[in-house]
Structure 1
Amino acid sequence: MLSPVKPVRRLGERGGRYRRRQGAIGGRRVIVLATAALLFLVVVLLHSVAVEFVRREAWRLSLRVAVPSCPSSPWKADEDLRGDCRPEVKPLPGGADITVAECARSCCEDAKCVSWQHRRDVGCLHGGDFRLGMEKDSVSAWCSDHPPKRWKGQFLVGRGGGDAMEDISSIKSRELACDESTWNPEEEVGQCFGLGDVRPEASGSASECMRACCKDATCSSWQWNEVLGCFYGPKMYGCKGEGDAVTYEPFVGRRKRLESRSYTGPYDKPWSMKWSDSMDASY
């Protein structure tokens, strides 16, 4: 009896099945890698959201820190002096080791004290009156309504500013600082002062801010951060902070409300930190 003829398997068919099998495996690998990348991005996003939530809650809780009232001269309502108000406020003698409540009480009892601040690294600070945030009325002294933040910034012609085209060394320094392959945007990470008003047209990024400064022959220094934008000008001074984490923690503080003040902002309209918070989603 003749045995059945076995079908002949062609090498091409086996190769095709192998390629299809390998293709399926490769496809699964791509899916696994894409899923892993997506999960990583989700984790990073959740982490950033969590960090932002903790930061905002820290600010809200700061308003609930046990700050005693000041019946003789009440604190201004809905306000916490979270920005760095130095040098308008100065260290209280013996204030390095006192608590927030003790700092507040000592200011309340001192007729010369209008404002106070406290942070764990500097202790208790006392000072006079100053404008806060967008306030325009009254005294020339000013304090930011934002907590200390990390900045990017650099002197184009050496720390301290000066004539942007003073000498050959200044010209060389400027050339290096204006080239993205040799610049150092981490040179000044603490907030500096003296740069004037924000430059909205150059606030998109640190490099954009740097380029705008470099195009201005009178500019010797610049700073930028993602919330407040770009600032540049012929002088920059009073730079604060050198990367220590505590220097970027918010302060706790209050001001006595003065009857002589109107606490108005641009166009003589009322301004308060409560308004600032509603306009700035970063806090």
Structure 2
Amino acid sequence: MATDGATPAGSKSKLLVFDSKEDLAVSLAKYTAELSQKFAAERGAFTAVLSGGSLIDSLRFFDVSPTPHRSRFFWVSPGFTDHVEICWFHSKLTEPPYLESVDWSKWHVFWVDERVVPKDHEDSNYKLAFDGFLSKVPIPPGQVYAINDALSAEGAADDYEACLKQLVKNGVIAMSTATGFPRFDLQLLGMGPDGHIASLFPGHPLVNEKERWVTYIKDSPKPPPERITFTFPVINSSAYIAMVVTGAGKAGPVQKALSDKKTSSDLLPIEMAVLQDGEFTWFTDKPAVSLLQNK
């Protein structure tokens, strides 16, 4: 069972707190399927942005779990519990009723960040997504937009941005009239224990990028060092964001992100994720919100 509370971000921000990871997974799968149906009907396409992960070994826990349908997937944050929820969530989407009821032909899949490694490398977010999700649902391969891993980090970022611009021109990706940046239908994101999202890390100059859609990093604090990432103007132009954060290790950044007391000098990346015109939903568990008052 979830508790739904208002957050300081305003009426378009929701905080959902779940009693169990199973409840969170069920709710998140239903939420995603409903948005898929909504945008497929309204636009003829559903643009979903996924995040990635680093602790691949932790995902293997699910390969031997008592529930055989729970498969490996991906997550942006470098903690074990991040992988738990995203594994369960996407196992739900690859099972009935969603496997049959979702119109997968309308899906267009992107990554909020990616490691500049070959697609079959264990650090590749694409590989994790393919192994645990994309290989199990009938999304047309031409509608899955991975980076060109033959290029340098800078070249891959330029190429990915050019791809997005062409898809905006073709009408696949909507454009935000408020910001002039691409408006993805849904971004499924997570947060690290340090408050980072995508490959935008605390104190790194990239958090202040205002012009680029996609940029690159060669000195990531988390390995591997070379990555590409969406910038905040793109993240914050989304129609919907689902921010999945669980575990007591994330309680500090969650408290800071949902606090009324903010100063621009010490904002964590998670605090900079503020939608211009959309709906931001936190999917959390009780340990993650343990430092909040009136939780």
| Common fold: TM-score over 0.5 | no
Relative to the length of structure 2, the TM-score reads 0.24
Relative to the length of structure 1, the TM-score reads 0.24
